[in-house]
Structure 1
């Protein structure tokens, strides 16, 4: 297995750096399937009854709440594994990490398929949640530092290209999962078990393509005609590196932890409940009989949000190369605050087009926050340990994946229980989300250059 080692993936002279983004995309488009996992929720909750048209399952069927644990567990282990194995990723290199990611992510589907056959929820959660989640974490961070070393002149563009793939994974995973379930509908599990086996094989092939295409630049490589820029007058782009354990002790790390947590908390709650929210805010009672948003239209709305989520990862991260990371996040938080305050107003005015425009922009900034944060870390902490530092920072994502949906669902349910119409039950939540973005604005405002006492002390440690 020595061909997986870092030294065997060093690029030969003349190797094109533009072959690296497709390798990263192959992995991120595969593991991004987790965003499309909801297509399995209803079939998984009807395995005993076998009737997808029924409003509820039979006795013994899993509930949607139980099935929803799989997504939450997967995102938790994404962040936890990124933090735990970040140093290992830096030491072993992207090829071995992508290979291990593929093994875990795809074997998770096989274990989950067995869990479906046995109707064993813990086994299903172990497969798609735990094993798949660890595979997600390793696959998510593995290309990051490599891309930034290949694109020191455009780090935001580089990470945006890869992380855009993760945001767009649902655009591949959702129709693929649906088509395969229809193909295997007669397998006794509504097609779910056979679909999991097929997806394991398909995604393993794609991820292996990425693993064997990936290369690391040789020592001292720089893009042709490019010279490192002079130190920025603001000091926000450092010429020094900070090792991961030292970075963990800096106020800058924890400020960026807050920045990512608050941005994701605000966005993920909306993304997770977008279908229900648009149907309740713009129902027949609001727009008039026969004019309300249908389930099919709501599904289209969710797809539109996914497109903006994906596009925002590329557009905003590329923009940050020109205007800087800190100003980019200032835009996220300032504009986001205004839009969250306007969403309830658009709902009260029954103005669906403005509501769609506002939420699409919000989702673009949600995705942009994910893609811009690795470059922000690179600016502050250098490239030596940026993958490991990014891995630890992704714990903010794990926390936000729990807090965001809990906030939105909890306040919505309390409002409805208090007699507030469903169409107006989201107003309080939107105002709270706006408040979170104000806190994020303040955290980003406080980010300053990393003090010299945290810098790596040897040339080898500072090496990109």
Structure 2
């Protein structure tokens, strides 16, 4: 009897009743997901039927039939429910401006990535603390961490764009918070243990994933809230991101000062009691203490000038006995950003189905359009016709002024992410975006280092460590202003014309070498002011590239799948970060080596040997061990020898200008996707443009890719 009952239930795919005391395995589509809690059967208040975490239906498949079960939700499901798409749907009449603060909190947190250059120099002296020791990382090893972070950004946005659209902005932002904070924590551990791979794994991988998810979470959502002002929407979504470093720069500096511990002072060279400093076979500066040979760094005026006089003085310091403060700063930031981002994620809201803002263009002041019967004429026909909701995708944004020249016509039909990849417009926009971003991301990744190298020696009274940090914050303000300003301007200029305007960064890059040579030959504040202004504008253009991008995508491929397409397009950002900062590091390294060789040729070999304890023939070994630097060679060079440091970035700026010019050519080749291509790729058409077709509910799921 029991065996027969089991066989019957197996065929039906069901389960035995409570009286039969037999519980069969559920069908595949009903397993592994949060299932509906039947409140009538258990006498308790229920949570919304069929809900689950991360946007799937109660049965785990949006296309599978719903099946109510008696599984009681656990504590984890209750805790995760506020982050689901269903919980984040706004009620009718919700004020769309209330969505902005939550996006700002998330974007401000991940926007601190633009303050990375604050950590460049401290990370190159984790062991020496006052000055780089032989075992410290080179700048060329530290700068690419930012590039690795951006590469992870591109990978995650490319692969997770559809998932982000499906689960909604709350779940995405919460996941971003976990990745970003854990990445900073791992980076702090890497600093403590002086393990470079941990920095790449923490900041580069985990931090990059948090950056990606935090970045894309509000963009498509705000465009859906503001379909009548797509440029403004994307600008608002990303303005706080661009300005994140305005807060992060002074915060990072303050945290590193609080956690800074000076190394042990052995003595002052030339004074009684200071042990003799000599150079070992590896080119390191060492002393003998208690019968042991230990590495030291000799801090002169140029090294000590970076620190407070109360903390550091000129002398000989023991390597490995202090703390640069970077590890403590990363760990503190990890906790702070986790709380901030989780709170911001809960403020996000998804617009209700068929949402149209009041007074939006194309909606005619109402949320409905006459159905097909009304179009035939006659009051009776109009009364009998069904009202078809006007989807937000049907709203036509403002058109550029005719006198501004030809621009793109916003597409009323939408391609999915897979279909967009099969158009030439996608790759042209990718190239235009990548090339236009290279100069900005290169300057941002090494902003503090560039300012110090180019102007600190010539203008030491002005360009201090605090001034260089303020410069980083000012560039972040430029990034923020560019994101809001250029995104809003693109609503008037048109996206293509806006990208043409951003190509003006090329001549600005060409002007930088002229300014650095000027300050080297005739020190004055004028080239500093002009350099500050030129790089400020270049970074504002960089911010404009990415704030205009979502609206550019919506104009080319339609609004329906902006999030998924935007995620794939952001691989261009990774391309820019993978090209610019490493290129800067390589070109600067070549220029630095050439400058050392030119200076060494002007130095007396005997004086060189007396100063560094090794012959001039060992120049490259001593440079690799950080024993010989440009500033130390200048002390031995003939009077009047110019400092070559400001010229280290000439070749980098020439290269950036060439890439920007190529990006302008790619933008010039962009045109609307032809109608026949849209037909071949089966582009989605809004219900308002197909009166006989019922309106679709926006579930957040991407349309399936179709073969052409």
What stretches of structure 2 of length at least 5 have no aligned partner? Answer: 1-79, 262-320, 363-394, 400-405, 520-525, 599-643, 687-694, 701-708
Of the three residues 9, 15, 21, the one matched with 2:100 is 21
Find out whether 1:259 has 2:393 as its counterpart: no
CA spacing shift, 1:282–1:218, aligned 2, 3 Å? same
Residue 9 (structure 1) aligned with residue 88 (structure 2): yes
The separation in 2 between residues aligned to 1:256 and 1:191, in whole angstroms, is 42
Matched, 1:423 2:646: yes
Q: Deviations over 1:31-67 (max 9, x none)?
A: 1122223434444444445xx3x2223x654444444
* Aligned residue runs from structure 1 range 58-457, under 5 A: 60-185=135-260, 190-228=324-362, 236-282=409-455, 293-333=463-503, 335-350=504-519, 351-352=526-527, 353-415=529-591, 417-418=593-594, 421-452=644-675, 453-454=677-678, 456-457=683-684
What TM-score results when the alignment is normalised by the length of structure 1?
Answer: 0.89
Deviation (angstroms), 1:148? 0.3
| Contact 2:102-2:345 within 8 A present in 1 as well | yes
C-alpha deviations, 1:103-152, integer Å up to 9, x for none?
11112233334444444333343222211111111111111100100011
Asked whether the 8 Å contact 1:31–1:105 carries over to 2, the reply is yes
> Given that residues 312 and 364 in structure 1 are in contact (C-alpha distance below 8 angstroms), is that contact kept between their aligned partners in structure 2?
yes
Flag the 1:151–1:360 CA change in 2: closer, same or farther, 3 A. Answer: same
Cα 1:284/1:132, change in 2 over 3 Å: closer
Aligned length: 456
CA distance in 1, matches of 2:183, 2:101: 24
Contact residue 242 and residue 385 of structure 1 kept, 8 A: yes
CA separation in 1, counterparts of 2:107 and 2:86?
23
Q: Distance in 2 between matches of 1:296 and 1:198?
A: 21
For the residue of structure 2 that corresponds to 1:450, the secondary structure is coil
CA distance in 1: counterparts of 2:684 and 2:645, whole angstroms: 59
Contact 1:78 1:137 in 2 (8 A): yes
Query: How many Å apart are 1:89 and its aligned residue?
Result: 0.6
- C-alpha distance in 2 between matches for 1:129 and 1:425: 26
Note closer, same or farther for the CA distance 1:205–1:188 as it changes in structure 2 (3 Å cut).
farther
CA distance in 1, matches of 2:562, 2:228: 16
Give 1 or 2 for the bigger CA radius of gyration.
Answer: 2
Query: What do the CA deviations read for 1:397-435 (whole angstroms, capped 9, x no partner)?
Result: 112112112333333444454558443454443333222
Query: Do the aligned residues in 1 keep the contact of 2:169 with 2:218 (CA within 8 Å)?
Result: yes
Identify unmatched segments of 5+ residues in structure 1. none
Root-mean-square deviation over aligned CA pairs: 2.8
Contact 1:241/1:462 (8 A) holds in 2: no
Alpha-carbon deviation of 1:227?
Answer: 2.8
CA distance in 2: counterparts of 1:414 and 1:67, whole angstroms: 17
Contact 1:112 1:196 in 2 (8 A): yes
Moved more, 454-463 or 85-94: 454-463
Q: Which has the higher contact order (CA 8 A, sep 6+)?
A: 1
CA distance in 2, matches of 1:279, 1:42: 10
Alpha-carbon distance in 2 for matches of 1:408, 1:43 = 19
Q: Please give the per-residue CA displacement for 1:284-306, whole angstroms capped at 9, x wherever unaligned.
A: 56x7xx67744443333333222
Task: Decide which moves more: 228-237 or 424-433.
Answer: 228-237
